[in-house]
Amino acid sequence: MPVTFLDAHRVEKPWGRHDLAPLFDDQPRDRPPVGEIWFEDDNSRELLVKYLFTSARLSVQVHPDDAAAQARGFARGKDEAWIVLSAEPDSTIALGLTEPMEAEAVRAAALDGSIEQKLYWKPVTAGEVIYSPAGTIHAIGAGLRIIEIQQNLDLTYRFYDYGSDRELHLDEAMEVSEFGPFAGNPAPRDIGSGRSVLAENGRFVMERWTLEGAFTLAPGSATLWLLPVDGRAIIDGEPAAIGDAIIVEGAAPIEIEAGSLIYVAYPGSHVITDILTPMPRSASQRSRAGAV
């Protein structure tokens, strides 16, 4: 089948939240808070998508790039990106250092905890998208609901964890980190017809779709991840709405209602310009009838 709706799996974390709506049903108050919602995918595809819900700062960490990860026997490294869905007024994400530092000074700061003050804690707001290349020292702040899109690698090196007893990986982290400020991301690029490119020229492309109408998705050999966060769409005859994660691996019809917002990601560095083809009206009507 060219279209797969992924099942969601809740992961309880002490730094998580109970208030998950409107993305998902709230977590019952007699259960631990939910920090992550993973979308289960047994096929080990190149990307992984999850939601994060934070009530406290997450650990200071870093991920290896492709070369460093492959030298350790892994298939790929870990670039990642965050789509901020909601943020409290003082919410931040740490990205890189406030100034260039020598490696040994970074090590010392990680050991004594002062690395928390050496990071650039960037204020973030709803709708903001950040692409974080591998090697970027980072930490997710409190008060956030985020979609995280990443290369599919379960490998994290922790610099610092606010005095907890969790394992740190300082030697490994030092080997793969950039010891300077975050370079930042280019501004979103509008490519017309309700499509904006949020990230490109990295390990995956991200787009924001605000278009409406009936189309044929034509990803070619690429695999698409579609993430609706507002409105509604019908994909290959199946309704898709807020909180869904859908993988598209072949040509499929999609009909998007007015006012919808869908985030899209796919591996590679370049935008697939012809990924959507408007559907003739008669075909659109057949697609809609098939969903009834």
CATH architecture classification, 7-176: Sandwich (2.60)
3-class SS shares of the chain: helix, strand, coil, % to 5: 15, 40, 45
Reading the block at residue 225, the tokens are 């991840």
Let me know if 158 is a catalytic residue.
yes
Residue 22 has pLDDT above 60, yes or no: yes
197, 189 contact by CB (below 8 A): yes
Task: Give tens-digit pLDDT for 61-112.
Answer: 999 999 999 999 999 999 999 999 999 999 999 999 999 999 999 999 999 9
155: CB partners within 8 A, 6+ apart: 63, 64, 69, 72, 74, 78
pLDDT given for residue 282 in this prediction: 55
pLDDT given for residue 292 in this prediction: 43
Task: Give tens-digit pLDDT for 60-70.
Answer: 999 999 999 99
Task: Give tens-digit pLDDT for 215-271.
Answer: 999 988 899 999 999 999 999 999 999 999 999 999 999 999 999 999 999 999 999
pLDDT given for residue 288 in this prediction: 53
The reply to whether 7-176 and 189-290 are identical in fold is: yes
The kind and range of the H/E element at 16 are strand 7-17
- The domain limits of the chain are 7-176, 189-290
Task: Identify residue 24 by its one-letter amino acid code.
Answer: F
Question: In degrees, to the nearest 5, what angle opens at C-alpha 113 toward C-alphas 107 and 115?
Answer: 60
Instruction: State the average pLDDT for the chain.
Output: 94
207: CB partners within 8 A, 6+ apart: 195, 196, 197, 198, 263, 264, 265, 271
pLDDT given for residue 279 in this prediction: 85
- Kindly state the percentage of the chain with pLDDT values over 90: 89
Mean pLDDT of 22-46: 92
Query: Which of 17, 158, 195, 203 is flagged as catalytic?
Result: 158
CATH class of 189-290: mainly beta
Mean pLDDT of 191-198: 95
The kind and range of the H/E element at 123 are strand 119-123
